[in-house]
Structure 1
Amino acid sequence: MFLFEYLPNELIINLFDYLDDYDRYVSFDGLNQRFDKLLLYVTHSSWFTVNFSNLHQSKFHRVCKFMKSEDTRSLTLSNYRHSVHINQIPLFFNIYFQLDQLKYLQRLYLYGIDDNQCQSFLPKLEQLQHLSLLTFKCLTVVRQFNLSARFLSLKTVRTLKFLSDGGQIAFVMDTSPPIIVINHVQYLKINLSLDIESLNQLLIHLPHLKSLDIKLTKETRNPVNHMDDKSLTTCIETDITILTIELYSYTRITFNDIQECLKSFFKLKNFIITGIVSDRQFFDGQRWKQLIDTRLPNLEQFQFLFTIYKYEITKLNVTSFDTWHRVQCDSNQHVTSIYTLPYAFHKQELSLPFQSISPKMKRTDYSRVRQLRFVSANNAATNEQSVLENRCYPNIDTLILWKISPFLSSLNDLSNLIVLDTIRHLDIGYHAADIQIHLDLLRQISKNLHSLTIRNYDLFDELWTLANNQSISCKTIKTLSLHFTYFNIKYVKSFCQLFPNVEELSAVVLRLNNICSVVKSIKNLIWLKLKCEELKNMYTTDITRWLISSKMSKTVENMSHPINDEIHFWLK
Structure 2
Amino acid sequence: MSDMQFEYLPNEILIECFRYLSALQIFQSFDRHNYRFNQLIRSIKLHLDFENIPQKLICDTFSTTVLPDQEIKNRIDSIHLSNENISYPIQWFLSIFSFNQFVHLRSLTLTKLKKKNLKDLKTMLPSMTELFSFRMINCDYQTEEILCTLPLSQLRTLIIPKLPRNLKLMDKASSITNLTISFRDFDDLSLIFNSISKLKYLKIENIQRFYSSIETKNIYSINNYATYLNKLIITKFRAGVDDLFILLKQTPNLRSLTINALFNRYRINADEWEDLINSSLSYLSVFKFNFEWEVVYRDENEISDKLKQFQSDFWCKQHHWYTEYILSTYRASIYTIPYAFDSYSLKLKTNRYSIQIMNNNVITFDNVEDLTVDPGAITEEYQYRFSYVTSLTFQYAIACNYSDHFLRMEDMKHLKIIVNLSHVKHLSLTMLHNLGKLEPVLTEILK
TM-score by length of structure 2 reads 0.70
Q: Is residue 2:214 matched to residue 1:213?
A: no
Partner of 1:371: 369
SS at match of 2:282: coil
Structure 2 counterparts to residues 380-529 of structure 1, below 5 A: 384-385=381-382, 387-388=383-384, 396=388, 398=390, 400=392, 402=394, 430-436=407-413, 451=425, 453=427, 456-459=438-441
Paired position in structure 2 for 1:321: 310
What residue in structure 2 maps to residue 74 of structure 1? 78
AA at the equivalent of 2:104: Y
> Do the aligned partners of 1:73 and 1:105 also contact (CA within 8 Å) in 2?
yes
CA–CA distance in 2 between the matches of 1:124 and 1:431?
57
What residue is the counterpart of 1:336 in the other structure? 332
- Find the counterpart in structure 1 of residue 139 from structure 2: 139
Query: Contact between 1:243 and 1:268, CA under 8 Å: does it hold in 2?
Result: yes
- Secondary structure of 2:347's counterpart equals strand
Deviations 1:114-167 (CA, angstroms, capped at 9, x unpaired): 699679746744544443322112433x39757858757341x3221124xxxx
Change (3 A) 1:374 1:135: closer
Q: 1:308 aligns with which of 293, 296, 301?
A: 293
Gaps of 5+ in 2: 9-13, 316-321, 396-405, 430-437
Residue 241 of structure 1, aligned match among 215, 230, 247: 230
TM-score by length of 1: 0.57
Aligned 8 A contact 1:234 1:261 in 2: no
Secondary structure of the structure 2 residue equivalent to 1:113 = coil
Question: Which residues of 2 match residues 537-552 of structure 1 at below 5 A?
Answer: none
Encode CA deviations 1:291-322: one digit per residue, 9 max, x unaligned: 22333233333321123356344564323323
Q: CA deviation at 1:236?
A: 0.5
Contact 1:75 1:107 in 2 (8 A): yes
- Residue 358 of structure 1 deviates from its aligned partner by 5.2
Residue 52 of structure 2 is matched in structure 1 by 54
> Would the alpha carbon gap of residues 280 and 309 (structure 1) be closer, same or farther in structure 2, given more than 3 Å must change?
closer
CA distance in 1, matches of 2:135, 2:166: 19
Contact 1:345 1:368 in 2 (8 A): no
- RMSD, aligned CA: 4.7
Q: Does 1:264 align with 2:268?
A: no
CA–CA distance in 1 between the matches of 2:301 and 2:97?
63
Q: 1:276 aligns with which of 236, 251, 262?
A: 262
Query: Residue type matched to 2:253 in 1?
Result: K
Distance 2:390 2:163 in 1: 30
* CA distance in structure 1 between the partners assigned to 2:417 and 2:286 by the alignment: 41
- Structure 1 269/336 Cα, relative in aligned 2: closer, same or farther at 3 Å? same
Q: Write the distance in 1 (CA, Å) between the matches of 2:197 and 2:309.
A: 35
1:247 aligns to what SS in structure 2?
A: strand
Q: Report the counterpart of residue 355 of structure 1 in structure 2.
A: 351
**CA–CA distance in 2 between the matches of 1:124 and 1:261?**
37
1: CA distance between counterparts of 2:123 and 2:365?
44
Aligned to 1:63: 62
Distance 1:80 1:145, change over 3 A: farther
Preserved contact between residue 181 and residue 207 of structure 1 (Cα < 8 Å): no
Deviation at 1:194, TM superposition (A): 0.8
| Higher-RCO chain (CA-CA 8 Å, sequence separation at least 6) | 2
Deviations 1:230-278 (A, max 9, x none): 9755311222122222335xx4x21111222233212222222213332
Shift of 1:23: 8.8
Cα separation, partners in 2 of 1:438 and 1:196, compared to 1, 3 Å: closer
- Name the CA shift for 1:25/1:211 in 2 (closer, same or farther; >3 Å): closer
Compute the displacement of 1:329 (Å).
Answer: 0.6
Equivalenced residue count is 399
* Match of residue 192 from structure 2: 202
CA distance, structure 1, for counterparts of residue 288 and residue 330 of structure 2: 24
The answer for the alignment partner of 2:401 in structure 1 is none
Preserved contact between residue 350 and residue 374 of structure 1 (Cα < 8 Å) = yes
Q: Secondary structure at the match of 1:264?
A: coil
Would the aligned equivalents of 2:22 and 2:47 in 1 still touch at CA under 8 Å? no
- Cα deviations across residues 543-567 of structure 1 (Å, max 9, x unaligned)? xxxxxxxxxxxxxxxxxxxxxxxxx
Measured at CA, do residues 450 and 189 of structure 1 come closer, stay the same or move farther in structure 2, by a change above 3 Å?
same
**AA partner of residue 319 (structure 1):** K
Instruction: Report the CA distance shift for 1:128/1:55 in structure 2 as closer, same or farther (over 3 A).
Output: same
CA displacement at 1:37 relative to structure 2: 5.6
* 3-state SS of 1:302 partner: strand
Determine the C-alpha separation between the residues in 2 that align with 1:188 and 1:24.
30
CA 1:267/1:123 → structure 2, altered by over 3 Å: closer, same or farther?
farther
State the secondary structure of the residue aligned to 1:432.
coil
Question: Where in structure 1 are there 5+ consecutive unaligned residues?
Answer: 1-7, 164-169, 404-428, 464-481, 483-497, 499-572
Against the structure 1 CA distance between its residues 74 and 22, is the aligned structure 2 distance closer, same or farther, given a 3 Å change threshold? Answer: closer
Post-superposition shift, 1:374? Answer: 6.3
Could you tell me which residue of structure 1 aligns to residue 278 of structure 2? 293
In the aligned structure 1, how far is the partner of 2:137 from the partner of 2:292? 27
Change (3 A) 1:46 1:152: closer
Contact in 2 for aligned 1:241/1:267 (Cα 8 Å): yes
Q: Which residue of 1 aligns with 2:433?
A: none
The whole-number CA distance in structure 1 between the counterparts of 2:375 and 2:416 is 22
Match of 1:545 in 2: none
